[in-house]
């Protein structure tokens, strides 16, 4: 039997986003710009992963910085740090922490999809030789990274892995699957370079980055969809998954 996460739920429950219900309406999010970096991490991240999930082998995280020029709450940027895992047999990114650039997006993402998101400042810039992002919060830079030496690839070469958030719903902790659709218009890949990562600021204090894996950037029509599946965070997902719709 593969290893499971070792998160002590009681240690974080009070900080979980509170969702109002599972009747979240989908958001259409056209022309999104998505920068994603993947990086292996040192052993020790399993204490952050809910017991319902298996850790990836090797353990790794993804940083996803997205600029949404259009949304029901206006333009906003979102940065996520995700600990990669398996929900049963499916690869998933468990969202450890997130930062959004507007108050409206922050509250909507917390209430509607359970993102552990807080407000902050996000920069995303394209240069001739790199695509760089930075995230600041309370006057501190908590993430600084870049895709270096971009080369154009086919959209079909990119794979985006669905996310899972941990939220409180009706007084109980629940894992929420967030599984957007993507229609890619442009795509590039490059080397991943992380120059600053304050793990504690992303609820990931034990995480130590080791080997960079890859970086990609795309423009895509995407969405934040209706919620389809929720899972008990303490039960293996093959037994603890509930289909919402």
Partner 1 sequence: MKFGLFYELSVPRPWTRESERTVYDNALEQVKLADELGFDQVWAVEHHFLEEYSHCPAPELFLTACAMLTKRIRVGFGIVVCVPEFNHPIKIAERTAVLDILSGGRVEVGTGRSATWTELAGFNASPDVTKKSWDEFVRCLPRMWTSEKFEFEGEFWSMPRRTILPKVYQRPHPPMWVAVTSPGTELDAADRGLGSLGLTFGQFAEQEKRIAEYRRRIQLCEPVGEFVNDQVSTVNFLYCHEDDAVALKTGRQMANHFNYLAAQLMSVRETYPSKSYPSLGLLPQLRRQATGPESSEQAGEGLCLGGPERVTRALKRWEACGVDRVNFLINTAETIPQAEVLASLRLFAREVMPAFNGSKA
Contact residues for partner 1 (CB under 8 A)?
A: 1-3, 38, 40, 54, 56-58, 60, 86, 88-91, 153-154, 156-159, 161, 187, 189, 211, 213-214, 216, 236, 238-239
* Nearest CB to partner 1, comparing residues 1 and 11: 1
- Least distance CB 121 / partner 1 (angstroms): 29
- Least distance CB 122 / partner 1 (angstroms): 23
d(CA 46, CA 52): 12
Kindly list the distances between the CA atom of residue 119 and the CA atoms of 5, 85, 86, 127, in Å, as whole numbers in the listed order: 28, 26, 29, 26
- Least distance CB 118 / partner 1 (angstroms): 27
- Least distance CB 38 / partner 1 (angstroms): 5
* Nearest CB to partner 1, comparing residues 29 and 161: 161
**φ, ψ for residue 197 (rounded to 5)?**
-145, 110
How distant is the alpha carbon of residue 49 from its chain centre? Answer: 13
* Nearest CB to partner 1, comparing residues 23 and 149: 149
Does an H or E element contain 67, and which? Answer: strand 60-68
d(CA 195, CA 215): 14
* Nearest CB to partner 1, comparing residues 41 and 167: 41
Q: Which residues contact 72 (CB under 8 A, 6 or more apart)?
A: 27, 108
d(CA 53, CA 232): 10
Beta pairing partners, 183: 221
**φ, ψ for residue 69 (rounded to 5)?**
-75, -20
- Least distance CB 60 / partner 1 (angstroms): 7
* Nearest CB to partner 1, comparing residues 101 and 218: 218
């Amino acid at each position: 039997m593969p290893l499971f996460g070792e998160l002590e739920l009681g240690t974080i429950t009070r900080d979980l986003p509170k969702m109002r219900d599972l009747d979240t309406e989908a958001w259409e999010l056209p022309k999104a710009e998505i920068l994603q970096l993947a990086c292996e991490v040192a052993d020790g991240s399993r204490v952050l992963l809910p017991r319902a999930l298996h850790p990836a082998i090797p353990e790794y995280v993804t940083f996803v910085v997205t600029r949404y020029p259009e949304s029901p709450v206006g333009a906003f940027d979102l940065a996520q740090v995700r600990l990669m895992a398996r929900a049963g047999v499916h690869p998933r990114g468990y969202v450890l922490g997130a930062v959004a650039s507007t108050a409206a997006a922050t509250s909507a993402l917390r209430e509607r999809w359970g993102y552990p998101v807080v407000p902050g400042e996000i920069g995303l810039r394209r240069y001739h030789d790199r695509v760089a992002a930075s995230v600041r919060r309370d006057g501190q830079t908590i993430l600084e990274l870049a895709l270096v030496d971009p080369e154009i690839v086919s959209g079909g070469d990119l794979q985006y892995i669905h996310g899972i958030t941990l939220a409180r719903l009706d007084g109980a902790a629940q894992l929420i699957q967030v599984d957007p659709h993507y229609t890619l218009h442009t795509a590039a890949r490059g080397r991943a370079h992380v120059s600053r990562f304050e793990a504690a600021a992303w609820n990931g204090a034990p995480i130590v980055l080791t080997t960079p894996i890859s970086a990609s950037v795309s423009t895509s029509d995407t969405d934040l969809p209706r919620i389809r599946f929720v899972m008990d965070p303490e039960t293996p997902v093959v037994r603890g998954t509930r289909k919402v719709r």
